[in-house]
Amino acid sequence: MIIGIDLGTTNSLAAYFNGDRPEIIPNRLGKKLTPSVVSVDEEGNVYVGETARERMSLYPETVAQNFKRSMGTEREYLLSGRKFKPEELSSLVLRALKEDAEAFLGEPVTEAVISVPAYFDDRRRKATRRAGELAGLKVERMISEPTAAAVAYGLYDKTRDTRFLVFDLGGGTFDVSILELYHNILEVRAVAGDNYLGGEDFTEIMAKLFMHKSGLQLQDLNEKEQIRLYRQAEKAKCAISDETEVTMSFLYKEETKEETITYREYEEGCEELLQKIREPVKKSLADAGLKLGDIDDVLLIGGATRLSIVRDFLIRLFRKFPDTKMNPDETVALGAAVQAAMKERREEVKEVILTDVCAFTLGTEIVVEYGEGRLESGRFCPIIERNTVIPASRTERLYTAMDNQDKVRIRVLQGESRFARNNLYLGEIDVKVPKAPKGQEAVDVTYTYDINSLLEVEVKVVSTGTIEKMVIKGEDNQMTDDEIKKRMEELSYLKTQPRDYEENRLVLLRAERTYEETLGERRKKLDHYITAFEAALDKGDHDGILKAREALNDILEEENE
């Protein structure tokens, strides 16, 4: 069975095709979303998801989150003295999803279609693939998140050509993609985004409003208090809508502070964020050569698109209601599951061709000549521009810049800056040219970029016909198969917990945290139920454990409402 996986920054989900339609696979706790949070304790026990998130406020030094942002980089995370790369942490999330899928489906799961942001460059895609391999999953295909969303919405089934915009506002990132469907081809036309904008920024505004009103300063709060304040702010953010105001409370040094925040105040506070949202929308439309009115549908994905403030803003911007018939958290995983079914060539799904764009401009360094022979080196010459549909092949003719120049060096660069030094260096290639006065010799530089992000560079000397070629697989700290195997073994010593154990741990962690957050009688009552639950666990009697756990859970629900 091939499953579809949305490996998100904040949450991850798995889905499968049930013969009729795609369906989300619940995790070991019966939930659809697994927070992309990993915790490793001193004994090497791994906690993934909600349990790991609960450990955040109690044992912050054992927990990592938001590692998707660092995928493909050398960043290392230290958890209880052990080092992890972002793809290794992602592999632990994938392993948990795989195990849960196997338990749910009752069969081994060895292959997956994993979604990645459309702007993910080659290095990040490779790191994602490696995360799959480390989790024991073969990743045959990666699908870009907006394409997966469009597939889930069934837009590929439309009979007329359509243009739509996928608006993806997650916890920490924002992406806009414009897609076009014509005939049987679903094509990403343009992508743009802001890697530092997301639901968390909206939470921060809520937290700031609260602090301002209650006279608290961030520096007065210790780490645990800050985490708690943000949790309360997130709750308030999710509760506020244009029909309601929200009351947020926070326990600070034995005193409960309470403030009411109105929708109007919150909207004003978010004004700057909403302006930031406008930019990538404008940029993607400009890159695709379209106007706001050319968009037939607006699809929403990412948890933060549930915010009324964002929805109201989009209605004003596009003068139409976005399509909200799907759950914005689930769309991408469902789309990946449909893609998995397409891969398995299941008859129930129509096959479409999914194409992609190159997210960054690829070019080379050149010398530019101003009037009177003034030369400026270090300038960037774009060859394949960002948002070109791939596979793509483009040729640029470059002339010698100096008299008697005997070679031309093509430095392959990726990026948007006018200056070569600001762009990412991918490699270089030299060719010999016959000596001649400047401008008389030329080379044709051809870049060919394919769907697997392989860039082939060909340099042809126009006068002699000599050709030099190189293939750039993207700068990558590629692990060999043996290295992957070895690391897999190392990671396999980290044990995830059996389902029951995990549920018990989660309740206990939540209880510990809630205990720290309450006072007086409520605290005493909580203590009583925690002790009863611990006693039941000690005794090991299954029914007793279930009963005590349920009782404790009820109290926790009340406290965490």
| Residues recognised as catalytic | 6, 68, 145, 168
Report the residue from 55, 68, 126, 306 that binds ligand AMP according to the rule CB under 6 A.
306
R_g (Cα) of the chain, nearest Å: 27
Based on the number of CB atoms within 10 Å of its own CB, is 466 exposed (0-12), middle (13-18) or buried (19 or more)?
A: middle
Q: Is 170 in the site for ligand AMP (CB under 6 A)?
A: yes
Report the residue from 302, 322, 335, 474 that binds ligand AMP according to the rule CB under 6 A.
302
Which of 237, 257 has the CB closer to ligand AMP? 237
**Angle between helix 223-239 and 199-214 (nearest 10):** 110
Q: Is 11 in the site for ligand AMP (CB under 6 A)?
A: yes
Minimum distance from residue 118 beta carbon to ligand AMP (Å): 15
Two tokens at 293? 């009115």
Minimum distance from residue 143 beta carbon to ligand AMP (Å): 16
Query: What track of x and - describes contact with ligand AMP for positions 228 through 247 (by CB under 6 A)?
Result: ------x--xx---------
Residues 310-349 within binding reach of ligand AMP (CB under 6 A):
329
Which of 276, 438 has the CB closer to ligand AMP? 276
Q: What phi and psi values does residue 409 have, to the nearest 5 degrees?
A: -105, 125
Strands 138-144 and 111-116: parallel
Q: What is the DSSP letter of 157?
A: G
Minimum distance from residue 452 beta carbon to ligand AMP (Å): 27
Residue nearest to ligand AMP (CB): 199
Q: What is the DSSP letter of 478?
A: P
Number of residues that bind ligand AMP (CB under 6 A): 18
User: How far, in whole angstroms, is CA 331 from its chain's centroid?
Assistant: 14
Q: Is 200 in the site for ligand AMP (CB under 6 A)?
A: yes
Q: Is 171 in the site for ligand AMP (CB under 6 A)?
A: yes
Q: Which amino acid is at 272?
A: E
Q: Is 199 in the site for ligand AMP (CB under 6 A)?
A: yes
Per-residue three-class SS string for 38-65: EEECCCCEEEECHHHHHHHHHCHHHEEE
Calculate the dihedral angle through the C-alpha atoms of 544, 545, 548, 549, rounding to the nearest 10 degrees: -150
Q: Is 4 in the site for ligand AMP (CB under 6 A)?
A: no
Strand, coil or helix: 200? helix
Taking the chain, what is the end-to-end CA distance rounded to the nearest angstrom?
39
Q: Which run of H or E residues covers position 534?
A: helix 520-539
Which of 68, 98 has the CB closer to ligand AMP? 68
Residue written as tokens 């326990």?
A: 251
Which of 62, 203 has the CB closer to ligand AMP? 203
Which of 72, 328 has the CB closer to ligand AMP? 328
| Residue 72 contacts residue 126 (beta carbons within 8 Å) | yes
Minimum distance from residue 464 beta carbon to ligand AMP (Å): 55
Report the residue from 63, 207, 307, 398 that binds ligand AMP according to the rule CB under 6 A.
307
Q: Is 382 in the site for ligand AMP (CB under 6 A)?
A: no
Strands 162-169 and 297-301: parallel
Query: What track of x and - describes contact with ligand AMP for positions 202 through 221 (by CB under 6 A)?
Result: -x------------------
Q: Which amino acid is at 416?
A: E
Chain residues in the site for ligand AMP (CB under 6 A): 8-11, 170-171, 199-200, 203, 234, 237-238, 302-304, 306-307, 329
